[in-house]
Structure 1
Amino acid sequence: MSSSTKADSCDVLIVGAGPTGLTLALLLARRGVTVIVAERATEPYALPRAAHIDHQILRVFQELGIAEAIVATCRHSPRYDFVTADGQVLLRLDGADRIAAGGWHSANMIHQPSIERLLREAVAAQPNIELRAGWRLTGLGGGCDAPAAEFATEQGAQLVRPRFLVGADGARSTVRDLAGIGIDDLDFDESWLIVDTIVNDVSRLPEVNLQVCDPTRPTTCVLMGEGRHRWEFMVKPGETPDDLLDDPMIGRLLEPWDVAGAVEIERKAVYRFSARIAEQWQRGAIFLAGDAAHQMPPFAGQGLCSGIRDAANLAWKIAAVVKGEAAAAILETYQPEREPNVRAIVGLAMMMGRTVCITDPDAAAARDAQMLAARAANPQSAAAAAFPDILTGLIHAGTPGAGSYFPQPKAGPRRLDDLLGPGPWVVARETPPSSSAVPCYSLDDIEPFGAEVRHWLDDHGAEAVLVRADRYVFGSGPADELTARYLADLRGHPAARSGQGRDPAISDRGIASVSR
């Protein structure tokens, strides 16, 4: 690219306009940050992909003002059953349709294009965001600390010089490749046929989400949003994608479900389920988020959720740095805070997948016997998995509740965040000292939610709690001490580091350039 090419500038450049990139853009823009979102596709992808979001993700969308509209498109399954070929329950995960800590239903089966449409409408209404479709990233110059992103577009080569760059551009991330970031492959590789259908007669479909642990053909059957249903069939050794994508073959696979006429096929595709985590999620001013940073098998339904959590963690930190409220060192807490959570989720998804994907009849029989015996000994449904809290990073470690997810009480149609806003905020038993930097409230100030927050304070033996903008607890203790510690940590936090920060070998030269 010519050195005379005029460059655009912005606070944050996001490459990739999927749910993670769009959510990050909106969270940043609502905090006064200028954002350019560059997307190589000219039109949004119109077919379903992710099938599930949880209560924490709806809480993020609540902040963006689109949660209720998303819920209107969702369906809810009361449970998630792992069953044998003849329908015996090996494992039951209950409570998916209950209100969870985030203040919304624990599990929500979605239609991803509907969510992306709502996100794009919100982006279009946000003056701090420019969405540039048909922009394909071809190179990164300037070094990791001052990236200059080069794009091929219909108008010719374009250059953007952001203060920060985030690659939210999927599993085959160009940003990750150009930044020279490696991948930790966790050794899970299975191919599955995905069959998405439009439902004409819901009464003939299962009402719960199912994993059919049938060694002759492991199968997933789950609800989706907007009148849709999904089946997934494992590709067996010796089969090719073309074999399974043949319409008569799909008909044979669906035949045991007796849904002829009840559904019509919307999409069929063969996907490779893998488990991989980027070695670095930050290099200088360059970050990875969503599938660019981690990929996981879909059995736990947490792929899209993990990307939105990345966005929620990163957005308020970048905004604080851009606005001069925090030192850049706080950005080095991003990977240490997020990676343990992601690795735990990936581990669960791999465990679930390896349980389902057994195709050896003897091994499957042994699995069934063991799991049926365990369920007979303890017939109660299993609780949803609890993922790790934030263990290190921008928290007041050692105080009760630090790093945990703070619950959102609901009273009628309102929820706690509707009253207190995006955060951060302090809630104390008594009227706390005023702070211009961190809003402070007493329990009386937050009625009708005060009783539930008091219960949290009682459980943790705390006078007050400071909750970060991503709804994780910074710490607990006296309100004035909490606020002072939080502000001091923003200005110069001794961040936990794991090699994900500045790379001197790269930051003083151009990173890479490709033609693709």
Structure 2
Amino acid sequence: MGAFDCDVLVVGGGPTGLTLALQVAQAGASVIVCDKEADVFPLPRAAHIDHETLRIFQSIGVAEDIAATCRTTERYDFLNAAGKVLLSFPGADRIAPGGWPAANMIHQPSIERLLRRRMEEQNGAELRTRWTYLGHDEMADGVTAQFATDRGEAQLRAKYLVGADGARSPVRSAAGFGLADLGFDEPWLVIDVVVHDQDRLPKSNLQICNPARPTTCVLMGEGRHRWEFMLLPGETAEEISSEASVARLLEPWNVSGAVTIERTAVYRFNARMTKEWRKGRVLIAGDAAHQMPPFAGQGMCSGIRDAANLGWKLGEVVAERASDQLLDSYQAEREPHVRATIASAIMMGRLVCTTSRWSALVRDLKFALGRALGKIPGGPATFAAMSSRAILSGSPMAGHYFPQPVAADGALFDDDVPAGAWLVGRDLPPLPGSLAAVDIADRTIEPFADAIAAWLASYDIEAALIRPDRYIFGSGSPTDLIAAWERSLRGDAGIRSESVGNQPTWDAALPDRPISMAG
């Protein structure tokens, strides 16, 4: 066959596809993103990203610009029909382990424009718009994809094809990935508004668990706000979307004159996941691989995490620094986290979507008792540690998230150290080219050295190897870690530490506050 047009071909130019492309390009591979649209979709969709998502955006050089478009709020409250708190997640505006605020309300078109602008600056990355995917053929050494363009049909040849093309993913369909229904399907009316008088709107994110009309009210970025109203049995999308219906739904909020409606749309909130995320040289990510109700605010976050996990692995594989088998760890690591996220979102959705007054009364009594006994969750669901051939199973902290240190002046650790994988410790030996040394004796990281030393000491760790997605490969002696890392990239099975030590729980790995020099 002929030469490749790129190493990695991504179908879909939304946040997941663009983030994946930038991750791949920063790893030294060439990437082309093809999107059927000429420009970003101009209206809001996702409303929230978390601290880990912003850290991923930081790694590709867009976090500060994105953060400037975000808004934060202190609380996310679930209220019953009487306004009593059923469930509350406080501290959403505090700095979290990723080094950014825990919750950030967004304007998705602004994020996509910033990602597209970054694509223009990134060597080895190209975005082609008005390229509509038609199908693909897979060979032993690559994939050839066909497209309809404004100049006729065209094809591109790449070593790997990734479908990041949304919930209706044509790539997923063409590749034959099976899609499983996880048991949630509810129609909701979404109303997005531009805000003129912020003082007249709620300052917290709210879920109103009222059986007469389950309702969501949340902040968004760029001077916007969103309401969502669940359709009741017998209601149609046309009826509830009418001007009179929208005015009636917003009337209790007393925002006439304070907002201008930007759009209304009826969506079905679903929970689905594909059975496979990879078939040979074809992979899927984001909504193409999984969809979830919006109640946990993790839809876009999950896609961006996919991109961070898969991006560095594709970069290593196409550069022939790693075996193709490394890509098998992608679904093995991401699927358990996504399943936990979907389960949390479904739990919240069922809490909100109760339309039986009797069931709502029973629910309210259960939550009142739970609050009295101190058994109501105080935060979002946490994840189990990852385990795969890309993790040194058995070593302390392996598979957990490495928190980003924050200096007293607000400086972020990741900005002062190289991209890629790190070996973190003291008096480190010479490292292979695929690893960067983060030696706490190095004066260049002096503002963070005490915090990192304290983190290592708290888990009795001599050194830790941190992957490019900032999850911990493993811990132990530097020499042993280097050898284990190189074995894992080669695809050797059975990578495991012989020294297990005391493995902390995920809660211990994710403290309420990040590593900080600010006290």
Q: TM-score, normalised by structure 1?
A: 0.93
Contact 1:80 1:208 in 2 (8 A): yes
Structure 2 counterpart SS, 1:439: strand
Structure 2 counterpart SS, 1:372: helix
Measured after TM superposition, the shift of residue 304 of structure 1 is 0.2
Measured after TM superposition, the shift of residue 385 of structure 1 is 2.4
Aligned to 1:442: 439
Contact 2:69 2:222 in 1 (8 A): yes
Measured after TM superposition, the shift of residue 393 of structure 1 is 3.4
Q: After the TM superposition, which parts of structure 1 deviate over 4 Å for at least 4 consecutive aligned residues?
A: none
Contact 1:330 1:493 in 2 (8 A): no
Aligned to 2:423: 426
Matches within 5 A, 1:350-365: 350-365=346-361
Specify the code of the residue in structure 1 equivalent to 2:479: D
Measured after TM superposition, the shift of residue 447 of structure 1 is 1.7
Aligned length: 491
- Of residues 298-307 and 480-489 in structure 1, the stretch that sits farther from structure 2 once superposed is 480-489
Deviations 1:374-409 (A, max 9, x none): 223339871332123313330100000000000001
Structure 2 counterpart SS, 1:69: helix
Name the CA distance, whole Å, in 2 between partners of 1:288 and 1:56.
21
Measured after TM superposition, the shift of residue 220 of structure 1 is 0.4
Name the CA distance, whole Å, in 1 between partners of 2:127 and 2:223.
30
Deviations 1:314-364 (A, max 9, x none): 111110111111111111110001000000000000010011000001001
Aligned to 2:517: none
Identity %: 53
The correspondence for 1:34, drawn from 30, 33, 36, is 30
Measured after TM superposition, the shift of residue 55 of structure 1 is 0.4
Contact 2:144 2:155 in 1 (8 A): yes
Name the CA distance, whole Å, in 1 between partners of 2:140 and 2:237.
40
Contact 1:201 1:262 in 2 (8 A): yes
Aligned to 2:189: 193
Aligned to 2:501: none
Aligned to 1:261: 257
Please say if 1:81 is aligned against 2:80: no
Name the CA distance, whole Å, in 2 between partners of 1:145 and 1:371.
56
Aligned to 2:366: 370
Aligned to 2:215: 219
Contact 2:4 2:159 in 1 (8 A): no
Structure 2 counterpart SS, 1:65: coil
Matches within 5 A, 1:92-131: 92-131=88-127
Name the CA distance, whole Å, in 2 between partners of 1:216 and 1:282.
43
Q: For structure 1, which runs of at least 5 residues remain unmatched after alignment?
A: 497-516
Measured after TM superposition, the shift of residue 258 of structure 1 is 0.7
Name the CA distance, whole Å, in 2 between partners of 1:60 and 1:477.
26
Name the CA distance, whole Å, in 2 between partners of 1:7 and 1:447.
47
Measured after TM superposition, the shift of residue 459 of structure 1 is 2.4
Contact 2:340 2:381 in 1 (8 A): no
Structure 2 counterpart SS, 1:273: strand
The correspondence for 1:279, drawn from 267, 275, 281, is 275
- Of residues 140-149 and 42-51 in structure 1, the stretch that sits farther from structure 2 once superposed is 140-149
The correspondence for 2:397, drawn from 379, 398, 401, is 401
Aligned to 2:306: 310
Name the CA distance, whole Å, in 2 between partners of 1:362 and 1:154.
57
Name the CA distance, whole Å, in 2 between partners of 1:481 and 1:416.
25
Contact 2:389 2:488 in 1 (8 A): no
Contact 1:7 1:160 in 2 (8 A): no
Measured after TM superposition, the shift of residue 480 of structure 1 is 1.2
- Of residues 123-132 and 344-353 in structure 1, the stretch that sits farther from structure 2 once superposed is 123-132
Specify the code of the residue in structure 2 equivalent to 1:36: I
Contact 1:290 1:308 in 2 (8 A): yes
Structure 2 counterpart SS, 1:414: coil
Contact 1:84 1:212 in 2 (8 A): yes
- Of residues 17-26 and 138-147 in structure 1, the stretch that sits farther from structure 2 once superposed is 138-147
Structure 1 counterpart SS, 2:447: coil
The correspondence for 1:173, drawn from 160, 169, 175, is 169
Measured after TM superposition, the shift of residue 443 of structure 1 is 1.8
- Residues 69 and 157 (structure 1), Cα distance of their counterparts in 2 relative to 1, 3 Å cut: same
Q: Looking at both structures, which has the greater relative contact order when contacts are Cα pairs under 8 Å and sequence separation is at least 6?
A: 1
Contact 1:15 1:38 in 2 (8 A): yes
Structure 1 counterpart SS, 2:461: coil
Matches within 5 A, 1:199-210: 199-210=195-206
Measured after TM superposition, the shift of residue 156 of structure 1 is 0.8
Aligned to 1:162: 158
Q: Tell me how large the CA RMSD over aligned residues is.
A: 1.6
Contact 2:138 2:281 in 1 (8 A): no
Specify the code of the residue in structure 1 equivalent to 2:106: I
Name the CA distance, whole Å, in 2 between partners of 1:10 and 1:435.
30
Aligned to 1:9: 5
Matches within 5 A, 1:378-389: 378=374, 382-389=378-385
Deviations 1:67-113 (A, max 9, x none): 11111111111010000112111111111000000000000000001
Name the CA distance, whole Å, in 1 between partners of 2:108 and 2:481.
39
- Of residues 416-425 and 333-342 in structure 1, the stretch that sits farther from structure 2 once superposed is 416-425
Specify the code of the residue in structure 1 equivalent to 2:114: L
Contact 1:209 1:222 in 2 (8 A): yes
Aligned to 2:514: none
Name the CA distance, whole Å, in 1 between partners of 2:283 and 2:459.
35
Aligned to 2:475: 476
Specify the code of the residue in structure 2 equivalent to 1:258: N
Structure 1 counterpart SS, 2:133: strand
Specify the code of the residue in structure 2 equivalent to 1:212: I
Q: TM-score, normalised by structure 2?
A: 0.92
Contact 1:8 1:159 in 2 (8 A): no
Name the CA distance, whole Å, in 1 between partners of 2:60 and 2:176.
33
Structure 1 counterpart SS, 2:272: strand
Name the CA distance, whole Å, in 1 between partners of 2:163 and 2:376.
43
Contact 1:337 1:393 in 2 (8 A): no
